[in-house]
């Protein structure tokens, strides 16, 4: 046994570290998604001058609605799992998994910190360090459309199918814009590895300004956020559901299958927030914080312990993620819904030309500066 351990020591440690990162990171994502189901209703209640959910309690303690996500989970589990008689049962069952699994897989390439030393080994704070991580995100995110379309088509319900067709048209259209908004960052940072892009944002411009993506590409950030919200099917781009019109592609679902569709939407909110933080706001970077501690532009330094630096970096990434989650919730309860023709026109007639123009201007500036 000892001989096997010594021969495969590095592989065993790598496997154990990967398992721990998956459990910790994805566990945190799932926990935050559960809390977002409560935050969604609390934000809407606040903006509409209501109290919001506050009744679910344990031993008489409600904690202002904190137990509502748990109550929702119990309710979903105990509900009848209904399958329409005319439905394509296999695809009807698989559709929620097609919607949720690709989204969860995308978190593998998102760096939530730099690295931490554990028993003399350097543990990188991301699950999979892929050289083409950004392209992995764009490729796998497109697979979520299969869950949306199969859910509506397999239900054999005309209104569900209408929602699925809207969803397919919307997601395919805005996927193009989403990819084009990131081309400028690829040109500037010269890498598709998300960890390398975050580390590059740790540089300083003019000796004091953090080289975050939003500093280089502020216009691309606005286009990215708009396209990402549309990809996530959130208001004002929620034509896929349209509660006052068609209800949505998941209207025949109940119990945990419906919960999977609903949960995937909140997980996508977290994914979009993490991508916005990673690509445009420095990811885990804290201004003037380096491996040895804080070093200010004037030369003043504050040495810090390695583990405290790692904790500050992970904390900064978490705060940025929560901020963008909050922003997307506020946007939903602020803006009215587009018509479907307005939705598609905004993509092809406005956002797409602007994204192409941004690439042209970025290339021209880099050429003028002799960077390419």
Per DSSP, the residues of 40-62 read HHHHHHHHTT---S----BTTB-
* Domain count within the chain: 1
Find residue 302's DSSP bridge partners. Answer: 294
Residue 8's pLDDT is 61
The tokens for 335 are: 């803006």
Find residue 293's DSSP bridge partners. Answer: 290, 303
Residue 6's pLDDT is 55
Length of the chain: 372
Q: Where are the alpha helices (DSSP H) in 182-245?
A: 183-189, 194-200, 213-216, 218-231
- Judge whether 359 and 180 are in contact, CB under 8 Å: yes
Q: Is pTM, for the whole model, over 0.85?
A: yes
pLDDT exceeds 60 at position 2:
no
Residue 10's pLDDT is 66
Residue-wise pLDDT for 69-121, tens only, equals: 889 889 988 998 888 988 999 999 999 999 899 999 999 999 999 989 887 78
- C-alpha span between 41 and 53 (Å, rounded): 7
Residue 299's pLDDT is 80
Residue-wise pLDDT for 251-273, tens only, equals: 899 889 999 998 898 999 999 99
pLDDT exceeds 90 at position 225:
yes
DSSP class of 55: -
pLDDT exceeds 90 at position 318:
yes
Residue 245's pLDDT is 73
Q: Which residue has the tokens 């979009």?
A: 272
- C-alpha span between 115 and 313 (Å, rounded): 10
**Structural domain range at position 100:** 2-368
Residue 1's pLDDT is 54
DSSP class of 190: -
DSSP class of 191: -
- Residue 31 burial (CB < 10 Å; 0-12/13-18/19+)? exposed
Residue 316's pLDDT is 96
* Helices (H) then strands (E): counts for the chain: 15, 7
């Amino acid at each position: 046994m000892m001989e096997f351990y010594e021969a495969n020591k590095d592989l065993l440690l790598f496997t154990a570290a990967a398992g721990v990162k998956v459990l910790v990171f994805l566990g945190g994502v799932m926990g935050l998604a559960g809390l977002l189901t409560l935050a969604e209703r609390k934000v809407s209640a606040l903006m509409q001058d209501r109290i919001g959910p506050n009744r679910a309690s344990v031993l008489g303690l409600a904690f202002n609605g904190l137990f509502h996500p748990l109550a929702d989970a119990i309710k979903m589990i105990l509900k009848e799992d209904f399958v329409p008689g005319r439905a394509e049962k296999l695809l009807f069952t698989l559709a929620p998994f097609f919607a949720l699994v690709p989204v969860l897989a995308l978190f593998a390439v998102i760096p939530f910190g730099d690295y931490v030393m554990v028993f003399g080994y350097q543990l990188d704070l991301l699950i999979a360090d892929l050289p083409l991580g950004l392209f992995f995100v764009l490729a796998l995110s497109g697979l979520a459309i299969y869950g949306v379309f199969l859910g509506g088509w397999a239900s054999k319900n005309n209104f569900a199918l209408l929602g699925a067709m809207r969803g397919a048209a919307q997601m395919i259209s805005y996927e193009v814009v989403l990819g084009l908004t990131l081309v400028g960052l690829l040109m500037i940072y010269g890498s598709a590895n998300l960890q390398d892009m975050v580390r590059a944002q740790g540089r300083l411009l003019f000796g004091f300004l953090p080289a975050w993506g939003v500093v280089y590409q502020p216009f691309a950030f606005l286009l990215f956020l708009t396209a990402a919200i549309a990809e996530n099917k959130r208001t004002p781009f929620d034509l896929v559901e349209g509660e006052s019109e068609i209800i949505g592609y998941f209207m025949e679902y109940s119990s945990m299958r419906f919960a999977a569709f609903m949960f995937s939407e909140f997980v996508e909110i977290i994914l979009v927030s993490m991508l916005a933080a990673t690509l445009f706001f420095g990811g885990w970077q804290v201004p003037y914080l380096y491996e040895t501690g804080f070093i200010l532009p004037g030369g003043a330094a504050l040495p810090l312990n390695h583990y405290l630096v790692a904790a500050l970096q992970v904390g900064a990434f978490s705060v940025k993620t929560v901020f963008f989650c909050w922003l997307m919730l506020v946007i939903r309860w602020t803006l009215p819904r587009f018509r479907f023709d307005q939705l598609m026109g905004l993509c092809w007639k406005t956002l797409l030309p602007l994204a192409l123009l941004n690439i042209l201007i970025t290339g021209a500036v880099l050429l003028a500066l002799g960077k390419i």
